[in-house]
Amino acid sequence: MTEVVVLTMVPDRETGLKIARNLVECKLAACVNMIDKATSVYEWQGKICEEEEFLLIIKTTAANFSWVKDKILELHPYELPEVIMFKIDAGLEEYLAWIRK
């Protein structure tokens, strides 16, 4: 089983906690870290936007990615939320085993 990190940005703490708790309660993620007040600069619908957002760092498995993505899309208020997955190439084996469990 491959361990992965999934990233998504959310507009506020409440949305972040809602998604994080749901993923952990549904056993779709071992852990979700929320980093607050990241500044995002991006182009959307022809305008340059600058927003304060919260970053969710979701630790899960590649096998769960499809369900994690679906859950984020269900609970996320953005029209087009960021949902990006990175494979974990190496790490403390005990921690990686905890993610898999």
State residue 77's pLDDT score: 97
* The dihedral sign for the CA sequence 98, 58, 70, 3: negative
Residues 6 or more apart in contact with residue 13 via CB below 8 angstroms: 34, 36, 54
State residue 15's pLDDT score: 98
| pLDDT tens digits, one per residue of 19-54 | 999 999 999 999 999 999 999 999 999 999 999 999
CA of residue 79 relative to chain centroid, distance: 16
- The hierarchical CATH code for the domain 3-100 is 3.30.70.120
State residue 38's pLDDT score: 95
State residue 1's pLDDT score: 72
pTM of the model: 0.94
